[in-house]
Amino acid sequence: MSKTVQNHINDIVKKGPYKGELARPYIDSNGTTLLIDEIMQAGTPVKDTVLKNGLRWDVQGTFRGSTGTWELVVDTSTNTIVHFNFVAK
Amino acid sequence: MFRFKINNNNKIHSGSLMYYRDENSFDFIPSNNTDIFLLVGYLHIGIDSETMTAQQVWGLQPYECWIKKTLDVPNFILGELMVEGDIVPGMTYRIEGCENWTTEFDSETGWVCIGESKKIINDLFIKFADDTIAVINNGKLKALWLKPIIK
């Protein structure tokens, strides 16, 4: 993953039902590789609209009880994940 | 869905806004803990759920799509950018209406404007972190003005 993504791995939820948990635990956990594999298997990537060598996966899913979209963008020129997020509806 | 508010109290977050060309990304150093993320494209506005204030912006924003333009940098006030709405800490949401925003870059001044760079009468310009200005109009985010150190 890019250094920028990694810089925000340790953010903690400070309030509400997920207080004390990592804000985005899917970025760096035992299940991260499996989750990324599942996202890649579940959908066909499209060429990213803003990143020249980017491939983007959008896969419907759930996280913390919310439905939404797993968004994954890989820079194929560096083989690096440059965007990875679950975006709630 | 979300409404932005301004607290005109002269408080801003200190640090350095960086742009890493090798990663096509903005980042803010040092990064404050945030647990709500509002997306403008791939750019994250990090929110602290305890105060519901924006702390910093970071994320992918490829410079290949920046449009060179002479930008008229707005006058701004210093303070906190607050958000309210149906938001759960620990979640990421996309700000509606910014899907087709353009990014303009003034190579003379170093300012980057993501969104609408033209000012209108009711626009509010709030600097909430070093080198980071949000433009709010009627509770909605209209643009981000960023002046990164480009590496």
The number of domains in chain B is: 1
Distance in angstroms between the alpha carbons of the first and the last residue of chain B? 36
Give me the pLDDT at residue B104, please: 98
Cβ contacts from A onto B, under 8 A = 106
Residue whose entry in the numeric block shows the structure tokens 């210093």: B78
pLDDT value of position B44: 97
Rg of chain A over Cα atoms, rounded to whole angstroms, equals 13
CB nearest A4 (choices: B20, B36, B41): B20
Q: Which pLDDT does position B29 carry in this prediction?
A: 96
Compute CA distances A21 → B7, B80, B99, B108, whole Å.
29, 26, 30, 43
Q: In this predicted model, what pLDDT tens digit does every residue of B101-130 receive, in sequence order?
A: 999 999 999 999 999 999 999 999 999 999
B106 Cβ contact list (under 8 Å, min separation 6)? B68, B69, B70, B71, B112, B113
What's the longest Cα–Cα distance across chain A? 40
Q: What is the extent of the structural domain holding A10?
A: 3-88
At A77, the amino acid letter reads: S
Tens digit of each residue's pLDDT (9 = 90 or more) over B33-79: 999 999 999 999 999 999 999 999 999 999 999 999 999 999 999 99
Identify the burial level of B108 via C-beta atoms within 10 angstroms of its C-beta, where 0-12 means exposed, 13-18 middle and 19 or more buried.
exposed
Residues A24/A32, Cβ–Cβ less than 8 Å: no
Query: Which chain A residue lies closest to B36 (C-alpha atoms)?
Result: A23
* pLDDT band at residue A29 under the 50/70/90 scheme: confident
> Does B60 sit within 8 Å of A73, measured CB to CB?
yes
Decide: pTM greater than 0.90.
yes
Please tell me the total count of domains within chain A: 1
Is the predicted pLDDT of residue B99 greater than 90, yes or no? no
| Boundaries of domain holding B18 | 2-150
